[in-house]
Amino acid sequence: GNSVTQMEGPVTLSEEAFLTINCTYTATGYPSLFWYVQYPGEGLQLLLKATKADDKGSNKGFEATYRKETTSFHLEKGSVQVSDSAVYFCALRDSSYKLIFGSGTRLLVRP
Amino acid sequence: GAVVSQHPSWVICKSGTSVKIECRSLDFQATTMFWYRQFPKQSLMLMATSNEGSKATYEQGVEKDKFLINHASLTLSTLTVTSAHPEDSSFYICSRASGSSADTQYFGPGTRLTVL
């Protein structure tokens, strides 16, 4: 069945450091891929998405490229801020509305 | 601002009692809403799809009689955990699909249930 695997956290970085959170998926067909972010005390919010191979999603300085050959959708940001501290979820959606999530990666950015 | 709200944000109940969790779509009439469950340090697992005016569609392994879903209006879906037991303790999250894009979902802040 379809599944998403992402790196375990927590990931602790200093402000302005480079961020990578790895995400790989297993799916039949051609799923859409997403990164959701959950800030403390809030609901999950869509951060970015990509709907087909080689698409790059980007938002708020974050980027992720849909790599079909490696079945990956790694999240990157060149310079993190304290306000980026949150839990990040990689997810896929196949032919239905159903989302399948990874286990989440907590990011802590220190001043 | 938030487009999906949940109430309560947390609840503690005794084993054997029932607990109702409300999920409201604040800015959009949602014919379809989703209920997820999240265990500590684990991913969100879809429990069921709530359909306005009809029966919910449950995922495999989810007990229909245990987790009652009612979607009586276009802005409200409720999840009732019946005869709750400690193993039902979890974080329950609802969502609705975006009206403009079927790809994305808007999530509520979640409800933490603790069954003693």
pLDDT digits (tens, 9 = 90+) for A30-83: 899 999 998 887 888 999 999 999 999 999 999 999 999 999 999 999 999 999
Q: Under a CB-based contact definition with an 8 Å cutoff, are residues A6 and A21 in contact?
A: yes
Q: Under a CB-based contact definition with an 8 Å cutoff, are residues B64 and B82 in contact?
A: no
Instruction: Determine the Cα–Cα distance for residues A108 and A97; give it in Å rounded to an integer.
Output: 31
According to the model, what pLDDT value does residue B1 have?
65
Quick: pLDDT tens for B53-69.
888 999 999 999 999 99
According to the model, what pLDDT value does residue B99 have?
63
Chain A residues within 8 A of B110 when measuring between CB atoms: 43
Across the interface, do A36 and B2 touch by the CB < 8 Å criterion? no
User: Angle A110-A15-A66 (CA atoms, 0-180°, nearest 5)?
Assistant: 110
pLDDT at A16 over 70: yes
pLDDT at A28 over 70: yes
> CA B6 from chain center: how many Å?
8
According to the model, what pLDDT value does residue B102 have?
60
What three-state secondary structure class fits A42?
Answer: coil
Whats the size of chain A, residue-wise?
111
Chain B residues within 8 A of A51 when measuring between CB atoms: 103
Chain B residues within 8 A of A43 when measuring between CB atoms: 2, 4, 93, 95, 106-110
